[in-house]
Amino acid sequence: MRRFSKIAAVVVVGAMALSGCGSSSGGGDGKSSASNDVCKTAKGDGPKVGVAYDVGGRGDQSFNDSAYRGLTQATKDLNATCIEAKATTSDNDTTRAERLRTLAEGGYNPVIAIGYLYSPAAAKVAAEMPDTNFAVVDGYSTTLPKTPLKNLNDLVFAANEGSYLVGVAAALKTKAKHVGFVGGVPGAVIGPFEAGYEAGVKSVDPSIKIDVTYLTQDQTDAQTAYENPAGGKDAASAMYEKGADVVFHAAGKSGLGVFQAAAAAGEGKWAIGVDSDQYLTAPKDQQPHILTSALKRVDTAVYDEIKTFADKSLKPGFTNYNLKSDGVGYATSGGFVDDIKSKIEAAADKIKSGEIVVPSDPKKVK
């Protein structure tokens, strides 16, 4: 009875995630993956995958939606079935651990947690349940005490490399010689976005002014950092008002406010998306202002984790998705970077060859 009731609770949480689809906070045009529900329709005999989303859940048009695309592809290619659980802004390590434990007790394997906040919980539960494979996107689980474990994998990305490329784009497109960056919260996950972006901008023109604003300094305040479009809009609006004409965000759903600010600021104001190609899910009035997006292929990482599990070739530990492995990159939708694409690609080639080593710490950007 206990297992049934707990799994039912996970399903209910997944349903709650769907209830917000199409809300005004999403800012999209109905193309978000949250408008579908593959876990209710998939009926394959492949892996049974449990996914625990980060704050914001499906419909963020960014991080979580990218994970969902990988999950959807796995149901098509690998006959996977799945169940989803959504985070809440009041979560702590105990509630996150219970969420992962519930998925594993329900027979779901692998269990994939989306977001670094799950790292301590995943390390704890993986140690308790050695027969279930766990993975954390953007995780640091394998660096914690009593790890590494044979059933735990951290899926990380060279976000600094993709951000360098959009920094090059920003520097080549700015007419004001003034750009900005809006981050969710400083630290090991968002810091590399800022560092790469600043390094890319300075590689083109060291004299360009770069404004930086974080929505919170509190590592535990996911609500303000990543589910705060109003805060994102205020931060970007202030930058545009001070003269910046390109603003890059790495702030989850909060970044939707950056697009709103760019559209409101008018002609000549650009925004840069993150994780997914955000031009594709933005409303039509915002699309003309989305210069590019720094891609972080969470969909690839999620799909690969499920595929290697299905193939019995899963290797626990630490998997890094970088530019050379096509784990990060930049978007070209809208055609706004077509005229500078050769210069962006030249920078990408130098990163891949090792000629350019992109810093991941903002303090080390020269």
Tens-digit pLDDT profile for residues 98-139: 999 999 999 999 999 999 999 999 999 999 999 999 999 999
pTM value? 0.82
> What pLDDT is stored for residue 316 in this prediction?
87
Which pairing describes strands 270-275 and 111-114: parallel, antiparallel, or unpaired? unpaired
The answer on pLDDT for 11 being more than 80 is: no
45-49, 156-160, 315-319, 357-361: segment of lowest average pLDDT: 315-319
The answer on pLDDT for 27 being more than 60 is: no
Task: Report the C-alpha gap between 127 and 149 in whole angstroms.
Answer: 7
| First-last CA distance in the chain | 59
Residues ≥6 apart with Cβ < 8 Å to 163: 192, 193, 194, 195, 196, 197, 200, 248, 250, 294, 358
Higher pLDDT, 29 or 154: 154
> What pLDDT is stored for residue 16 in this prediction?
31
Architecture of the domain spanning 159-296+335-364: 3-Layer(aba) Sandwich (3.40)
Task: Report the C-alpha gap between 317 and 319 in whole angstroms.
Answer: 7
The answer on pLDDT for 19 being more than 80 is: no
Mean of per-residue pLDDT scores for the chain: 90
Range 133-154 average pLDDT: 94
* Tokens 């530019």, residue located: 323
pLDDT classification of 232: cutoffs 50, 70, 90: very high
Task: Report the C-alpha gap between 357 and 195 in whole angstroms.
Answer: 12
Task: Report the C-alpha gap between 336 and 247 in whole angstroms.
Answer: 15
Residue 56 per-residue DSSP state: T
Higher pLDDT, 346 or 9: 346
Phi, psi values for residue 95, rounded to 5°:
-70, -35
Architecture of the domain spanning 2-157+298-321: 3-Layer(aba) Sandwich (3.40)
> What pLDDT is stored for residue 60 in this prediction?
83
Residues 262, 224, 124, 1, Cα dihedral to 10°: -100
The answer on pLDDT for 17 being more than 60 is: no
Range 346-359 average pLDDT: 98
Domain residue spans of the chain:
2-157+298-321, 159-296+335-364
Same fold, 2-157+298-321 and 159-296+335-364: yes
Higher pLDDT, 2 or 244: 244
The answer on pLDDT for 198 being more than 70 is: yes
pLDDT in tens, 249-292: 999 999 999 999 999 999 999 999 999 999 999 999 999 999 99
8-17, 197-206, 209-218, 347-356: segment of lowest average pLDDT: 8-17
The answer on pLDDT for 36 being more than 90 is: no
